[in-house]
């Protein structure tokens, strides 16, 4: 398979979905969107964006399965597209210009390529396994070791798992005072890309879904970032409950802090 050719088609398709999203951005009423759960929302823009992506991706590789956030969630042992059509829905619905489109192609459990696009400024991340990662057509450099004290850390609040909120806030308090600060932007896919690009230097969150993380994992690996569960076990896209990632040294210290507050079950 010509992965370079596939990648270019995916980038074009993501931009088409992004153009659709921008045509609706700040034209929706505040409070619009339906509640998927008590704290998660979906709009017709999410659903239609996934239709655009699914239809286009299945034309690129007709035999592939499709695992998306809003519609189909099929996964086999062959090719699978893992897609978050709009990562940062709450930002989008509130008029904040920070959300992303995330597309990853897997073969079995192996991530072959990924594209993450921020439609508001056409910021684009793309990668093919073992061939490097790119930010706006510039190859991303391997990340250096960095102590946590010099790192800016990204995270997400545990709205999917309120039972972990006490552990989260105690962990975040320690990280806050051990680092240069914490940022919560509302798009885990972009946060993880920003770690790989060096804009953030670490990240931790519980209960990310596969479509939240799939696209960004390849960027972390291609740039030499560390990643694992809070417990220190290897991260598994479809089964792990926690993810901690970052520059070498930052990641190791951050993982130890997360484990101390969450315990070995994460």
CATH number (domain holding residue 130): 3.30.540.10
Residues 123 and 155 in one domain: no
Question: Which residues are paired to 127 by β-bridges?
Answer: 114, 133
Q: How many folded domains does the chain comprise?
A: 2
Residues 127 and 154 in one domain: no
Residues 100 and 201 in one domain: no
Residues 21 and 64 in one domain: yes
Strand runs (DSSP E) across 129-171, as ranges?
Answer: 133-135, 138-139, 152-155
Binding residue numbers: 69, 84, 86-87, 212
Binding residue numbers for Mg(2+): 69, 84, 86-87, 212
Residues 131 and 227 in one domain: no
**Is the distance from CB of 164 to CB of 258 less than 8 angstroms?**
no
Among 82, 107, 139, the domain boundary falls at 139
Rounded-to-integer distance, Cα 155 and Cα 120, Å = 22
Rounded-to-integer distance, Cα 68 and Cα 90, Å = 18
Q: Residue length, the chain?
A: 266
What range does the domain containing 231 cover? Answer: 148-262
Q: Report pTM.
A: 0.93
- Please give the chain's pLDDT, 266 residues, in tens: 999 999 999 999 999 999 999 999 988 665 555 545 433 445 789 999 999 999 999 999 999 999 998 777 888 889 999 999 999 999 999 999 999 999 999 999 999 999 999 999 999 999 999 999 999 999 999 999 999 999 999 999 988 888 899 999 999 999 999 999 999 999 999 999 999 999 999 999 999 999 999 999 999 999 999 999 999 999 999 999 999 999 999 999 999 999 999 999 89
**Is the distance from CB of 59 to CB of 51 less than 8 angstroms?**
no
């Amino acid at each position: 398979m010509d992965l370079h050719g596939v990648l270019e088609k995916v980038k074009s398709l993501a931009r088409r979905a992004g153009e659709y999203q921008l045509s609706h951005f700040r034209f929706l009423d505040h409070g619009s969107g339906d509640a998927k759960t008590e704290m998660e929302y979906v709009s017709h823009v999410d659903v239609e964006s996934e239709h655009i992506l699914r239809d286009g991706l299945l034309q690129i590789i007709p035999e592939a399965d499709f695992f998306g956030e809003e519609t189909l969630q099929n996964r086999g042992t062959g090719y699978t597209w893992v897609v978050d059509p709009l990562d940062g829905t709450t930002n989008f619905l509130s008029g904040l210009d920070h959300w992303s489109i995330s597309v990853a192609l897997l073969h079995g459990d192996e991530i072959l390529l990924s594209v993450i696009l921020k439609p508001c400024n056409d910021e684009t991340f793309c990668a093919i396994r073992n061939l490097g990662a790119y930010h706006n057509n510039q190859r991303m450099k391997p990340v250096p070791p960095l102590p946590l004290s010099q790192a800016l850390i990204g995270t997400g609040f545990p709205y999917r798992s309120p039972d972990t909120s006490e552990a989260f806030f105690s962990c975040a308090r320690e990280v806050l005072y051990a680092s240069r600060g914490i940022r919560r932007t509302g798009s885990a896919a972009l946060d993880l890309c920003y770690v790989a690009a060096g804009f953030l230097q670490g990240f931790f969150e519980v209960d990310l879904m596969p479509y939240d993380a799939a696209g960004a994992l390849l960027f972390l690996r291609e740039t030499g970032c560390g990643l694992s569960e809070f417990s220190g076990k290897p991260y598994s896209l479809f089964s792990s409950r926690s993810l901690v990632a970052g520059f070498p040294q930052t990641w190791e210290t951050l993982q130890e802090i997360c484990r101390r507050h969450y315990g070995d079950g994460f």
